Every structure is written in structure tokens, then in C-alpha cells.
Amino acid sequence: MERGLTEMNFPEFNSLLINGMIEKWIIFLIVLVVAVACDMWYIHERNCTKKENEEMRLSVNFLMLITAVVFVCVAVATIPMARDVINEDYIEVHGEYSLSPDWNKSSVNRWVHITKDDGSKIDIKFPGYSHGESKLFPSGEFTGTVWYAKNSKVIVAFIPDEPADGN
């Protein structure tokens, strides 16, 4: 069951998403700098045979293609996040929270599985990779309240329920 917005901390949620977007764009910028540096080196390299020149040009073209693909992937990931920040589109749900501790570090996204109180399921992902998500979102299975960004399906908060026995 989705509940009201009264308990949401929009500035904190926005900050988490913005940091995730920045992180993704930094990855693109690193790829872009490498591609441009290779292109500049190719342009200024004069002591090559025709075959070496052709091989370098193919490598530079491949790097530019990779840069374009990374740009598209980053844009697809961050545009919904930006929309969530601009519109402050956050949803609150209560249910079972599940995050595997055996997450594969080479995965692009780390998924949190939520089974809402009404039995419906939703998978949401982490906003980024390195700005403290592991501390904010514990591994394991819990019952609690989850807030996530509507368009990007990114988790922004988790509050576990208090134990019924007071411990």
C-alpha cells in the first residue's frame, strides 16, 4: 500500500540521486577523455606506416563508438533520475525488503527486491556504486518501509520496522 509523502526527506533523497547521476557521468567523462586523447595522439602522430596509420584510425573509431554507447547508456540511466529529482517523484511502500549479500561486484546494478503488503513485487536498484549505499541499505531480509524514485526505480530510503517484542 502506497502511503503519503509526509515523512519523506526530499533534500536527502534528491542528494542521493544527484550523487548517483554524477557518478555515472564521471564514468562517461573518463571514457571520453581517453577517446579524445587517443584521437589527438593519432592526429599528431606522423611517423607511421600506412598500415599502422589505418590500424590506429580503426582503434580511435572503435573508442569513439564505445564513447557514444557509454553516453547513451548513461543518459538512459540518468534522465529518469533527473526527472525524479526535478519533480520530487518518490513513492513510499511497506513490505518485505530483500537484498542479497552475495551481490556480484561486476554487475551494473544492485537490485533490492520488495514484496509489498498487498503481495505485489517490485525490484528497485541502488542509485550508484560508491557513495555509501551499503551503509544505507543493509543486506538481508527485513520488513519495513521503503522509499524509491518513481521514474528511475531507485531506492532512496529504507526504515526497518521495530521488532514487536521491543528488542
**Which residues pair with residue 112 across a beta bridge?**
124
pLDDT at 141 over 80: yes
pLDDT at 96 over 70: yes
**Which residues pair with residue 115 across a beta bridge?**
96, 121
165 or 119, higher pLDDT: 119
Q: What is the mean pLDDT of residues 105-120?
A: 81
Cell triple for 54: 589505418
Q: What is the mean pLDDT of residues 114-128?
A: 91
165 or 144, higher pLDDT: 144
Q: What is the mean pLDDT of residues 63-83?
A: 95
Confidence grade of residue 3 (pLDDT, cut at 50, 70, 90): very low
d(CA 123, CA 153): 8
**Average pLDDT in the chain:** 84
Confidence grade of residue 106 (pLDDT, cut at 50, 70, 90): low
In this predicted model, what pLDDT tens digit does every residue of 13-37 receive, in sequence order?
A: 999 999 999 999 999 999 999 988 8
Q: 161 vs 5, 67, 153, CA distance in Å?
A: 18, 44, 22
- The pLDDT value recorded for residue 133 is 63
Cell triple for 117: 503488503
CB 95 within 8 A of CB 143: yes
Buried b (16+ CB within 10 A) or exposed e, 24-53: bbeebeebbeebeebbeebeeeeeeeeeee
Order of strands across the sheet that contains 155-160: 121-125, 111-116, 90-99, 140-149, 155-160
Cell triple for 163: 521488532
167 or 152, higher pLDDT: 152
Q: 22 vs 8, 81, 114, 128, 160, CA distance in Å?
A: 22, 11, 26, 9, 28
Q: What amino acid is encoded at 116 in this protein?
A: K
